[in-house]
Amino acid sequence: MPLTIRSRQKSHPADAWALRRLAKWTLAETEPRQALESASHELGVYLVDPVEMAGANWDYLQHDGPTDVITFDYGESGDAPKPGPILGDIFICPVVAEEFARKYKTSWAEEVARYLIHGILHLRGYDDSAPGLRRTMKREENRLMTAVAERFPLRRLARGTTVVGR
């Protein structure tokens, strides 16, 4: 399973190995049970600065300014939870995560974990473009965040360096 973790920003050093463990756990936890043995994922997770995120936000979505997370799904479409291998990239902006962390009284590392989960859910076919779909996706995101908090010390995501995980 190729899993690439890269930090292309310097303001928020992140533990790439902790992000890697979180991504692997989330992929396994969201894999429909009937497809567990066949999954061969290719996932890139990139922590980017606000300038890069604003560029991607404009280039791909025609939205101004940086955003928290953007997911690119290169795989086959399907309804949630979409079985089989994931093929995609997730771009996360820790600076925006820190802004939301202040608003929601969490840490930027917890917000980054939430965005990683959110991105993987999009790659699994979850959609947040309409209110009913958004509620379904948010319930699953919150369920996974609760489970993650019990298994991973999320504060560890904020430690370490920008060294990449392979």
Greater pLDDT, 159 or 11: 11
Residue of 25, 62, 50 lying closest to 147 (CA atoms): 25
| Calpha distance 66→60 (Å, rounded) | 12
pTM of the model: 0.90
**Structural domains of the chain, with CATH:** 3-158 (3.40.390.30)
Distance of CA 135 to the CA centre of its chain: 18
**161 — pLDDT class (breaks 50, 70, 90):** very low
**95 — pLDDT class (breaks 50, 70, 90):** very high
71: pLDDT strictly greater than 50 = yes
164: pLDDT strictly greater than 50 = no
163: pLDDT strictly greater than 70 = no
